[in-house]
Amino acid sequence: MQHGRWNHQGVSGGSQGGRDGSRSGKRPARSFRPHQNMAASRGAGRFPSRSHASRFDNRFPPRRGGNRGRGFGTFGETEAEFTRFINKAEITEKVEHFVPEHRFADFNVDERLKANIAKKGYELPTPIQDRAIPHVLRGEDVVGLAETGTGKTAAFLVPLIDKVLKHVGERVLIMAPTRELALQIEKELAGFARGTGLRGVVAVGGANINPQISALRHAPSFVIGTPGRLKDLMERRALNLSGFGSVVLDEADRMLDMGFIDDMRFILATMRSERHTLFFSATMGKDIERLIGDFLKSPAIISVKTRDTAKNVDQDIVRIPRGKDKFEVLVELLRNPEFNRVLIFGRTKHGVEKLAKLLSRQHIHAESIHGNKAHNARVRALDAFKQGRVQALVATDVAARGLDIPAVSHVINYDLPSTYDDYVHRIGRTGRAEMKGKALTFVLER
């Protein structure tokens, strides 16, 4: 295979051989420093015993059945698939420069909103903001095709806040796939709407429903929630959507992937037919097209071409021979100062929780985030990671999309993703803005 590859001791041979240019596949003397002390570290008791760490070995099952036989659709079980985990970030001298047609100061929005935009330091809109905001201000339905991290939250919040300020009684429903994204949207709302008197309520699962019911009694202008909890509130008659004139479906493709299609249809069907509908998605599949056809009227289709995630992220594999403990290798990597803010992806909720606890026992500050974790605990874990108080955040694919986490130094696929699309979304958590990121995928040899 003509690619550079990491093995459990550094790198193996590739088109340039090892990092010292050799083709032997043996570790060069100074290729990867943490691994030079592996034997000594083992003797010093820095790693857990085999009986303890082997729970996370997750070796590939025989090829005949694969992980699919156990209910997991795992991508990356063949040498051909391994090559898709390897890519050198491209360094370009010249990058195409986007010149917006508008400035935020040009938009005809409420002066209080305009002042808050300026306080946040926003002067020039991103491509999705530049193209979508004028359509939303005119009351048109919009389909925005843009990746996470392109500024689409402001693309719908800015014109909708203006709409609510100018039309008494106007209310907005925003659907998001995860609690974290819903909270992120609410935080952005609070910043843009400061001093206007507008209120927003977050309605998500995993949190006590009673305070949400109480908050809804005050008729907030914005309700931001996950489809399952929104439907629950509607069935309890705590949320009546007949008074909502605008709806946003954010990360719509992710909501479909998570199985929310029936809930989404139920919610949209209860809203009045004359409404303002905004639809944001990273991809356009057949299910998305059907939803658009059923619930939007002559929408403006805005597709924003962004840079290829792969071009901004150094990607490599870490080969782990049979009999080698991959938890031990993970600890070795995390002891390298370069790995200062690391997002580690695991397959299962239980496995992610266990892995975070094992890392903490090795004096590596780690938190976990997954579907079984309480709402407040997820918020605390995410905040601690964003603020640099913990080195590693161990997560299921709930963190692969819809989260704005700055300055992630590395993404590590401790367990293989189910699909290549999942892989792309995972590694997209690093190399954001114009920064360069690094992604490593653990591959256990059979």
List, for residues 169-188, the tens digit of each pLDDT value.
999 999 999 888 999 999 99
> Mean pLDDT throughout 18-28?
34
Q: How confident is the model at residue 76 (pLDDT cuts 50, 70, 90)?
A: low
Q: How confident is the model at residue 54 (pLDDT cuts 50, 70, 90)?
A: very low
The answer to whether 356 and 368 have CB atoms below 8 angstroms apart is: yes
Distance from C-alpha of 199 to C-alpha of 201, rounded to nearest angstrom:
7
CA dihedral 57, 441, 281, 126 (to 10 degrees): 140
Q: Are strands 10-12 and 5-7 parallel, antiparallel or unpaired?
A: antiparallel
Q: What percent of the chain has pLDDT over 70?
A: 74
Residue scoring higher pLDDT (282 or 66)? 282
Which pLDDT value is given to residue 80? 59
Low-confidence winner among 116-125, 193-202, 370-379 (lowest mean pLDDT): 370-379
Distance from C-alpha of 320 to C-alpha of 328, rounded to nearest angstrom:
10
Output DSSP code: residue 100: -
> Mean pLDDT throughout 402-407?
71
Which pLDDT value is given to residue 437? 84
> Mean pLDDT throughout 136-147?
92
Helices 349-361 & 326-334, crossing angle to 10 degrees?
60
The answer to whether 59 and 444 have CB atoms below 8 angstroms apart is: yes
Longest dimension (CA), the chain: 73
**Residues ≥6 apart with Cβ < 8 Å to 26:** 9, 18
pLDDT at 12 > cutoff 50: no
Q: How confident is the model at residue 418 (pLDDT cuts 50, 70, 90)?
A: confident
Q: From residue 51, how far is each of 56, 60, 331, 345, 349 by CA, in Å?
A: 10, 18, 16, 22, 21
The answer to whether 303 and 126 have CB atoms below 8 angstroms apart is: no
Which pLDDT value is given to residue 256? 85
pLDDT at 95 > cutoff 80: no
Which pLDDT value is given to residue 444? 83
* Angle (nearest 5°) at CA 376 between 370 and 378: 25
117 burial level (CB within 10 Å; 0-12, 13-18, 19+): buried
The answer to whether 123 and 104 have CB atoms below 8 angstroms apart is: yes
HEC string for 123-191:
CCCCHHHHHHHHHHHCCCCEEEECCCCCCHHHHHHHHHHHHHHHCCCCCEEEECCCHHHHHHHHHHHHH
Looking at domain 32-92+309-444, its CATH superfamily turns out to be P-loop containing nucleotide triphosphate hydrolases (3.40.50.300)
Which pLDDT value is given to residue 83? 65
Which pLDDT value is given to residue 270? 92
Q: Which long-range contacts (CB under 8 A, 24 or more apart) does 235-244 make?
A: 236/209, 238/212, 238/213, 239/203, 241/173, 241/267, 241/270, 241/271, 242/270, 242/271, 242/272, 243/169, 243/171, 243/219, 244/171, 244/172, 244/173, 244/271, 244/272, 244/275
Coil, helix or strand at residue 203: strand
Fold of 107-303: Rossmann fold (3.40.50)
pLDDT at 433 > cutoff 70: no
Location of structure tokens 């990058």:
95
pLDDT at 16 > cutoff 60: no
Q: What percent of the chain has pLDDT over 90?
A: 48
Q: What does the mean pLDDT of the chain come to?
A: 79
Q: How confident is the model at residue 141 (pLDDT cuts 50, 70, 90)?
A: very high
Q: Phi then psi for 148, rounded to 5 degrees?
A: -60, 140
Which pLDDT value is given to residue 26? 36
Q: Strand ranges (DSSP E) for 183-324? A: 200-203, 222-225, 246-249, 276-281, 300-303, 313-320
Q: Phi then psi for 99, rounded to 5 degrees?
A: -115, 110
List, for residues 320-355, the tens digit of each pLDDT value.
888 889 999 999 999 999 999 999 999 999 999 999
Distance from C-alpha of 382 to C-alpha of 279, rounded to nearest angstrom:
26
pTM of the model: 0.64
Distance from C-alpha of 298 to C-alpha of 300, rounded to nearest angstrom:
7
Domain parsing of the chain, residue ranges:
32-92+309-444, 107-303
Q: How confident is the model at residue 306 (pLDDT cuts 50, 70, 90)?
A: low
Which pLDDT value is given to residue 10? 39
Coil, helix or strand at residue 72: coil
pLDDT at 9 > cutoff 80: no
Residue scoring higher pLDDT (431 or 111)? 111
List, for residues 29-51, the tens digit of each pLDDT value.
333 333 333 333 333 333 333 33
Instruction: Tell me the β-bridge partners of 12.
Output: 5
List, for residues 223-282, the tens digit of each pLDDT value.
999 999 999 999 999 999 998 999 999 999 888 878 899 999 999 999 988 899 999 988
Coil, helix or strand at residue 359: helix
Tell me, yes or no, if the two domains 32-92+309-444 and 107-303 fold the same way. Answer: yes
